[in-house]
Chain A
Amino acid sequence: MNTFNTTARTTLAQASAPARSGGFAPGWTATLAIVALFAIAITFVAKGFQLFQATMVLSYAIALLGLNILTGYNGQISLGHGAFYAIGAYTTAILMEHGGTPYWATVPAAAVVCLAVGYAFGRPALKLDGLYLALATFALGVAMPQLLKYKHLEAWTGGVQGIVLMKPEAPFGLPLTADQWLYLFALLVTVIMFVIAHNLLQSGTGRALRAIRDHAMAAEAMGVDNKHYKSMAFGVSAAYTGVGGALSAIAVQFVAPDSFTLFLSISLLVGIVIGGVGTLWGAIFGAVFIMFVPSLAEKVSKAAPWAIYGVVLIAIMFAMPGGVVGMLRKIQERFKTRAGAPGG
C-alpha cells in the first residue's frame, strides 16, 4: 500500500514538472523570434513549388502534433492516424465540392468532424492498452482506403477517382500569389494550433494526460477520470490530424483514396518518433523529415526508397530514441554542464 501511494504521488509530481514541452529554455523568446522571421521570410523567398512543399510541411506538423498528443503525451499508440488525416481531407473536399463552402471554413469543420469521429473511436478503444490499441488502429489504417472507395459512398467521395479542388486566391486583392497566400494561411493555422496545444498541455488537462501515460492506475486512484481524458485525447488528437489533412487537401487540390493508405499512418508515426515523442517542437522536425527524406531516399535508391526509409527508422531507434528534440536536449545539457551553469 505504501509503495502504491508513493508511486502515485511521484507520477503526478513528475507530470506537473515545469513544462518540458516549452522547448529548450535558454533564449526561448529569441529562438521563437528567429523561427517566426524565418517562417514569414519563406513566403517571399521561396518559389511556387517550394511554397507548396512548405505548406505540406505545416500540414504534416499539425497532424504530427495531433498524433503526439495521443501517443507522446497520453501514451496511446496509434498506427492508423492516416485515417483521420483522410477524414479531414475528405471533409474539406466534400464541403468545397458539394457544399460550396469556402476553403477557410472547411478547416474548423474538419476539426469538428474529426473530433467527433476520434472521440467515438476512442471511447470503445478505452479498454485497449498498448499493443491492443496499436492493433486496432493498425486495422483502421489498413481498412481506410477500402472504405473510401466504397461503391455506395461514391456520390460523395468520388470513388476511386476522388475529388479535384480549386486553389484559393489571396483575399482582399492582396499582392500575393495563390501559393504564397495558402502558405501564410497554413502558417496562421499552424500557429493557432500550436498555441492551443501548448496551453492545453501546460494546463491541468495536460498534467492529467501525462499522469495517465506514466501510471494509469495511480492517476485513477488520484481522482483523474481516465475514461474521459483518454477519449478526449483521442478526439483532440484526431481533430488536429484532421486539420492537417484539410490543409493538405487544399494545397494538393485533390483527394483520392490511395493517398491515404497504411503508409501514410506509418509516415505519421515515423514523424513523431523522429521529431521526438512527447515534445511540441518535434512535430516540426518530424514534418520536415517525412516531407523530404522519402525523396532523398529515392535519390539513394530509385527502386527501394522505402527500404532506406525503414533502415533509417530502425537506425534511429537504436541510436537516437528520443528523436531530434531528444538529441538537441542532450546537446543542450552538455553545453550547460561545460559552462558550469547552475542546473535548470
Chain B
Amino acid sequence: MDAFLHQLLAGLASGGIYASVALALVMIYQATHHINFAQGEMAMFSTFIAWSLIQAGLPYWAAFFATVVLSFVLAAVVEFTVIRPMHDKPALSVVVVFIGLLVIFHSLAGWLFGYTIKQFPSPFPQDAWYGSSMMSAHEVGAIFVTLLVVAALFSFFRFTPLGLAMRAAAQNAASSRLVGINVGRMLMLGWGLAGAIGAVAGMMVAPVVFLDPHMMTGVLLYAFAGALIGGIDSPLGAVLGGFLVGVLENLIGTYVVGTELKLSVALVLIVGVLIVRPAGLLGRTVVTRV
C-alpha cells in the first residue's frame, strides 16, 4: 500500500509538470488553433538559460525569475516574427514551421550548452520539513509551484481586464478588433505566457531527470496526452488532464508494462482519447458545418 501511495504521489508530482505544459499548449491552441509542437524544446532551452545564469553565479531565485522573463520575451518574439506571418497559410505549412522551430531550439541548445547531461539544482532542500518518505521535498515543492502558476494564470484571465481581452481575442478576433483590442498584441502576450510557463515547468523537471537537450520530448508527449484528455480547448481540463496522465503514467509504468514503455503508454492514451472522445473530458465537441 505504501509503495502504491508513493507511486501515486510521484505521479501527481510529474503530473503537475505535465499540467503546466498542457496549459501552455491549450493557451496557444485556444488563441490560434495551432498546436505548438516546439513547446517542449522551448522549455528545455529556457531551462538551459537558467542553468547558465546559475553557473555564472546568480542565486537560484534570481536566475529563476530572470529566465521566466527572458522566456516570455523570447516566445513573444517568436510569435511575432515567425508564427504571425504564417497565420493564413495551409495547416501543413504551419506544422512544418513549428517543426522547424522544434529543430532549431533543440539544436541551438546542443550547440550552446552541449549534449552532456547536467545537474540542475532544486530550490527545495532535500531535508526540508515538508519532505518525507512518501514524497521528496522537491516533489512537494514542484506541485506547489505548479499550482501557484496555474492559480495565478486563472486569476489573471478571470479578474483582470487584460486577461479578459486575451480571452476575447482568442475566441473571436473580429469582434475583439471592433472593441479596440489589438489582437496581434494579445497573441504575442499569449505566446509569451506560454513560454514563461514552459520555463517554469522545465526548471521544475530538470532536477529530477537531469538537464540535456532531450529532456522535454517525453514531457511534451505527456502534456499532449493531458491536454487531449482534458479537452484541448479547456484550460481547466488541461490541468486536470495533466495530473491524470502523470498518475496513469506512473501507475501503468510501475504495475503494468514496465518503465521502459512509458512513452508508449502516452501514445496509447493519446490515440485512445482521440478515438473515444476527441473533445476530452471538459472540452466542447465541435460540429463541423458544411
Our pick among A135, A270, A307, A318 for the contact of B107 (Cβ within 8 Å) is: A307
Is the pair A217, B97 in contact by a Cβ cutoff of 8 Å? Answer: no
Is the pair A306, B107 in contact by a Cβ cutoff of 8 Å? Answer: yes
Our pick among B100, B106, B274, B290 for the contact of A4 (Cβ within 8 Å) is: B290
Q: Say how far B97's CB is from chain A's closest CB, in angstroms.
A: 5
Chain A residues near B288: list those with CB within 8 A. Answer: 217
Is the pair A128, B278 in contact by a Cβ cutoff of 8 Å? Answer: yes
Most buried by B among A143, A147, A150, A269: A143
Chain B residues near A270: list those with CB within 8 A. Answer: 96, 99
A107-159 interface (Cβ within 8 A of B):
124-125, 127-128, 130-132, 134-136, 138-140, 142-143, 146-147, 149-151
Of all chain B residues, the one with the shortest Cβ separation from A7 is B290
Of all chain B residues, the one with the shortest Cβ separation from A273 is B96
Is the pair A313, B91 in contact by a Cβ cutoff of 8 Å? Answer: no
Chain A residues near B224: list those with CB within 8 A. Answer: 135, 138-139
Judge whether B271 is part of the interface by a CB distance below 8 angstroms.
yes
Chain A residues near B102: list those with CB within 8 A. Answer: 266, 310
Is the pair A269, B35 in contact by a Cβ cutoff of 8 Å? Answer: no
Chain A residues near B218: list those with CB within 8 A. Answer: 142
Is the pair B96, A317 in contact by a Cβ cutoff of 8 Å? Answer: yes
Most buried by A among B96, B262, B263, B270: B96
Most buried by B among A79, A140, A149, A307: A307
Given A139-B271, A304-B110, A305-B107: A318 touches B85 (CB 8 Å cut-off): yes
Judge whether B86 is part of the interface by a CB distance below 8 angstroms.
yes
A297-329 interface (Cβ within 8 A of B):
301, 303-307, 309-311, 313-314, 317-318, 321
Judge whether B228 is part of the interface by a CB distance below 8 angstroms.
yes
Is the pair B278, A132 in contact by a Cβ cutoff of 8 Å? Answer: yes
Most buried by A among B35, B85, B228, B270: B270
Is the pair A304, B107 in contact by a Cβ cutoff of 8 Å? Answer: yes
Our pick among A71, A135, A310 for the contact of B35 (Cβ within 8 Å) is: A135
Q: Say how far B280's CB is from chain A's closest CB, in angstroms.
A: 11
Is the pair B35, A143 in contact by a Cβ cutoff of 8 Å? Answer: no
Q: How large is the interface on A (under 10, 10 to 19, 20 to 34, 35 or more residues)?
A: 35 or more
State the interface size on chain B (CB cutoff 8 A).
47
B130-169 interface (Cβ within 8 A of A):
none
Judge whether A189 is part of the interface by a CB distance below 8 angstroms.
no
Given A139-B224, A140-B267, A313-B103: A301 touches B274 (CB 8 Å cut-off): no
Is the pair B97, A131 in contact by a Cβ cutoff of 8 Å? Answer: no
Judge whether A287 is part of the interface by a CB distance below 8 angstroms.
no
Is the pair B101, A314 in contact by a Cβ cutoff of 8 Å? Answer: yes
Complex Cα spacing A343 to B290, Å: 34
Is the pair A79, B99 in contact by a Cβ cutoff of 8 Å? Answer: yes
Chain B residues near A131: list those with CB within 8 A. Answer: 33-35, 91, 95
Is the pair A307, B278 in contact by a Cβ cutoff of 8 Å? Answer: no
Is the pair A304, B270 in contact by a Cβ cutoff of 8 Å? Answer: no
Is the pair B107, A314 in contact by a Cβ cutoff of 8 Å? Answer: no
Chain A residues near B290: list those with CB within 8 A. Answer: 4, 7, 217
Of all chain A residues, the one with the shortest Cβ separation from B90 is A321
Q: Say how far A4's CB is from chain B's closest CB, in angstroms.
A: 5
Of all chain B residues, the one with the shortest Cβ separation from A3 is B290
Given A124-B275, A304-B108, A318-B85: A139 touches B266 (CB 8 Å cut-off): yes
- Known A131-B35, A303-B111; 17 more pairs at CB < 8 Å: A7-B290, A135-B35, A135-B228, A138-B224, A139-B270, A146-B263, A147-B261, A149-B260, A150-B260, A217-B290, A266-B99, A303-B110, A309-B103, A310-B101, A310-B107, A313-B103, A318-B85
- Jot down 18 A-B pairs with beta carbons below 8 A, ordered by A: A124-B275, A125-B275, A127-B275, A127-B278, A131-B35, A134-B35, A135-B270, A136-B267, A139-B266, A139-B267, A143-B221, A143-B263, A147-B261, A151-B258, A217-B290, A304-B110, A321-B89, A321-B90
The interface of chain A, by Cβ under 8 A from chain B, is: 4, 7, 71, 77, 79, 124-125, 127-128, 130-132, 134-136, 138-140, 142-143, 146-147, 149-151, 217, 262-263, 266, 269-270, 273, 277, 301, 303-307, 309-311, 313-314, 317-318, 321
**A-B residue pairs, 10 tightest by C-beta:** A310-B104, A304-B111, A310-B103, A306-B107, A307-B107, A313-B100, A303-B111, A314-B100, A139-B267, A143-B267
